[in-house]
Structure 1
């Protein structure tokens, strides 16, 4: 195992969470091992300030919980401990070991017939834990006590070469957990690293395995992919490796087929990335509205050609698209309902009815709908200067924008049950 002393790893201690240091110190004081591990170490070596800190130890979850009052054990697939320190939560994991055979008495792991890990509570040594991690650049262990870094998987070498490399055989690791392919793409986009050749080649073979992942987990991954300020390069990599097909196949097809749709969606991602960098609020609803708009618009156009009114066509198409997408990604209603509102405002913004101007400006989804309208114009769609019109209205009535209370999803009046006549 390679030991990189503090003088060579050049980690700036002021970027290290005091809470994570306290967790490591308490573990070591109780004669357990403890290291800051994973992406935090990678970011520290790159000279960046990590957002989250994880700690790895040889203590079991129950032993960790016994040391910290504010600790709680979570997870089924692999148990971890959340230790709260003030406002910060430090995630503490026990060293993982190699999978035991299903017939073993001590087996705490379980795989599907396709190799997908269903349960993974197998504990091991630090060396075994390092070998079980997903990427070389995430398999380094930092000791905040003496400032050294343990690196037995050549993570430092790949950081210097700016490479994302899966540990072990890539196809085997992707079959264990297909989400690793999304992680490879996410880190390549975030760090602006290349993907190592074997790691890359296996993605093209194993991409369809993402269909095995529960929709709820895929939505969580969607948030990680697009809400961290690197959405545009992430989208382009997902398209390159045909991984977007597993999240929203119809949108992936249309974005690749129609240049105007690709322009719209990539610009939406780029605008959101800039908002993240500026520290402004971003919402998954707008990203989903932009990402799925090519499908909604295409289907709505077909309905209009079949004789349906434009507003009803958008409504019908939106319902269909959300229902189909939720089979791949479990979009919560708190996001899916605003997405449909953004779509349905498009036809109303296009019409520019003078009597409805103030009501539309006051709609709480107006800003997001207006931003989507501008993206449509920027992608060469002709909307009779609707964007300029609504820009002028906002200048004329600046205090109105987004002031209306939220609408409820069910707009239909409730029917009252007729009262029963009392007998006698």
Structure 2
């Protein structure tokens, strides 16, 4: 329920990006409102360093463009998105919405006249925009000039109690956009939040609707959840809720067939990814996919006489996924399997015959990152990784 007047909290935020502040100041100098919104406000309140600084304003996209000639207009779902480029960074600047945009709303056509569309967009109030967002802790607005947090939906209390609560009618929200399942689990895991009971019940219903989401979206959301240092808690909750079966059914069937050793191996790899993230090592989506597949490949039976850890089982992954509506995800799947297959050459060591081929591959750095996760997860020989790193440094390669 939207409050008639916002609750406020006076807070001095220390981690605000100076370029984000400069954008807000230019908006206000132009006669418009401007607020930080979403994850950056949530994370400041929860004691985490904010990263992405999204901005909400009552300026339309065409008006933002007049103030920021360096910005880029992009087609959104019935509206126009704005990316403002400043200081080598990109900031999302969005017009306040009067109503929630349904997930099924199509994107504007690529050849649409975005300036003309922007001029017709209805501008909402801060209270209306807050109600249109997904979770209460993501619907908090920070007025930098006043040093105040504005809260129309009870997000301040939820942040204090470390609760994740869906806005609106939770069942309808998850039915409209089942991909909220991944986002809810991801936010709760990364920020140690408890999912509010009604939201959790609606989330369970959203899992049943996940197969209606395009596979590329499901794959993207799953792999995004394995980033950020909370891969292991996300996987545990995904398994509990049945998200893995709804995301990649063939992989989950294989996981169940291989039994506890495969699941324990997958968790060990996830925990290793989390430890590497804590040390500042970031894996790309394809490398994260390879780290999901590799524990299954290690447990999968291999034909008699087939050498190597990954063997032909890695190449068998793509046919196994052939029944999925892969679409735009197919390059990602092929990339992940290629990283998987490179592990056999890496495990042979930098002095092996195949070393030259893997070192010359454009995937070498990512393949080496997967090897690092493998060694971390299995307590493998770090000398092998050090040998590859030394050899790469001597040849001027970045490992």
Global fold match (TM > 0.5): yes
Gaps spanning 5+ residues in structure 1: where? 100-108, 379-386, 407-424
Q: Is the 8 A contact 1:142 1:149 kept in 2?
A: yes
2:29 matched residue in structure 1: 29
**TM-score calculated relative to the size of structure 2:** 0.80
Partner of 1:400: 391
Where does residue 150 of structure 2 map in the other structure? 150
Alignment partner, residue 84 of structure 2: 83
Q: C-alpha separation between the residues in 2 aligned to 1:205 and 1:226?
A: 22
Describe the superposition over 1:40-77 as per-residue Cα deviations: whole angstroms up to 9, x where unpaired: 11112223321011111111111111111111211321
Render the CA deviation track for 1:260-283: whole Å, top value 9, x for unaligned: 112211121121122222112423
Residue 268 (structure 2) pairs with residue 267 (structure 1)? yes
- Contact 1:84-1:90 at 8 Å conserved across structures: yes
SS of 1:11 mapped into structure 2: coil
Distance 2:158 2:278 in 1: 27
Alpha-carbon spacing, 1:159–1:254, altered in 2? closer, same or farther (3 Å): farther
Native 8 Å contact 1:247 1:325 kept in 2: no
Aligned residue number for residue 415 of structure 1 = none
Residue of structure 1 in register with 2:124 after alignment:
124
Q: Could you tell me how far 1:84 is from its partner in structure 2?
A: 1.3
Cα distance, 1:192–1:223 mapped onto 2, change above 3 Å: same
In the other structure, the counterpart of 1:3 is 7
Report which stretch shifted further, 253-262 or 32-41: 253-262
User: Hey, what does 1:105 align to over in structure 2?
Assistant: none
How do 1:407-422 residues align onto structure 2 when only pairs under 5 Å count? none
Q: In structure 1, what is the equivalent of residue 341 of structure 2?
A: 343
Contact 1:178 1:207 in 2 (8 A): yes
- Summarize the alignment of residues 82-121 of structure 1 with structure 2, pairs less than 5 Å apart: 82-98=83-99, 116-118=104-106
1:216 Cα offset (Å): 3.4
Q: 1:315 to 1:174 in 2, by over 3 A?
A: closer
Asked if the contact 2:130/2:152 (under 8 Å) is kept, the reply is yes
User: Which residue of structure 1 lines up, in the alignment, with residue 213 of structure 2?
Assistant: 213
CA offset digits 1:79-117 (Å, max 9, x no partner): 221111111222111111226xxxxxxxxx6x6xxx844
Q: Counterpart of 1:15 in 2: which secondary structure?
A: coil
Structure 1 pair 118/361, CA: closer, same or farther in 2 (3 Å)?
A: closer
> How far is 1:130 from its partner?
0.8
- The TM-score, its normalising length taken from structure 1, stands at 0.76
Mapping 1:344-383, distance limit 5 Å = 345-346=343-344, 356=353, 364=364, 367-368=368-369, 370-371=371-372, 374=375
- Map 1:4-403 onto structure 2 (within 5 A): 4-6=8-10, 10-12=11-13, 14-77=14-77, 78-98=79-99, 116-118=104-106, 123-255=123-255, 258-293=259-294, 296=297, 301=301, 304=303, 313-314=312-313, 316-321=315-320, 323-324=322-323, 327=326, 330-333=329-332, 336-337=334-335, 339-343=337-341, 345-346=343-344, 356=353, 364=364, 367-368=368-369, 370-371=371-372, 374=375, 387=380, 399-400=390-391
Question: Against the structure 1 CA distance between its residues 91 and 351, is the aligned structure 2 distance closer, same or farther, given a 3 Å change threshold?
Answer: closer
- Give the Cα separation in 1 of the matches to 2:189 and 2:396: 38
Superposition RMSD in Å: 3.6
Inter-CA distance 122–224: structure 2 relative to 1 (3 Å threshold): farther
For 1:55, what is the secondary structure of its paired residue?
strand
How far has the Cα of 1:233 moved from its partner? 1.1
Deviations 1:137-190 (A, max 9, x none): 011111000111110101011111111010011111112222211111111001
Q: Is the 8 A contact 2:269 2:377 kept in 1?
A: no
SS state at 2:316 partner:
helix
Greater RCO (CA < 8 Å, at least 6 residues apart): 2
* SS at structure 1 position matched to 2:56: strand
Counterpart-to-counterpart distance in 2, 1:27 and 1:395: 51
Moved more, 183-192 or 367-376: 367-376
